[in-house]
Amino acid sequence: MNLKNIKNNFYINLLIIILVFLLDRISKIYVIYLADKKNSFDLFSSEFLNINLIWNDGIAFGLFSLNEKYLYNTLTMFIGLVIMLILFLLITNRGLKQFSLVLVFAGAIGNLYDRIFYKAVPDFIDFHIGEFHWFIFNVADIFITFGVIFMILLELIGNNKSDNEKI
């Protein structure tokens, strides 16, 4: 791969990261604004989707929510280290694997921003069927999830491809 292709990839990846980050920020700012304006965290309800603002101080989908400031800060630093590892993997990979890492990185940066500036991540998308509710999440979580699913599929396809080539 020549230098021109690497530069083009860099700018495309940077553009994706910026767009995901902005989409995430705008959606969160808008939902926070609506919650303040309505003086309620319950913003919208329908048969399958609710928009309810919650402040998640844990990790993905509200897991490991912590009240202790020391543990919260430790978890935030650990998440920062994981993001740096993802950045390293993003730089060292190419193609579709790099694209999936870009999605994960962009979403993770959006949530890390909230953890640093709000001390919690605003989650607001609540899918449900009847009384069964999935975890409440945000736009950054969508991109992280798609990136991880895409990576898993690439690994499964890659492993199957190499097994077939061996035969």
- Which band of pLDDT confidence, cut at 50, 70 and 90, is reported for residue 7? low
Tell me which of 57, 114, 126, 141 is the catalytic residue.
141
Domain assignment of residue 146, given as a range: 3-166
78-120, pLDDT tens digit by residue?
999 999 999 999 999 999 999 999 999 999 999 999 999 999 9
> Which residue among 24, 114, 123, 126 is the active-site one?
123
pLDDT confidence bin for 125, thresholds 50/70/90: very high
pTM (two decimals)? 0.83
For the question of residue 24 being annotated catalytic, the response is no
- Asked if 147 and 102 touch (Cβ cutoff 8 Å), the reply is yes
How confident is the model over 122-136, as a mean pLDDT? 89
Cα–Cα distance between 28 and 113 in angstroms, integer? 12
Q: What is the pLDDT of residues 15-38, one digit of tens each?
A: 999 999 999 999 999 999 999 998
Domains in the chain: how many in total? 1
Told to judge if 163 belongs to the known catalytic residues of this protein, a careful annotator would answer: no
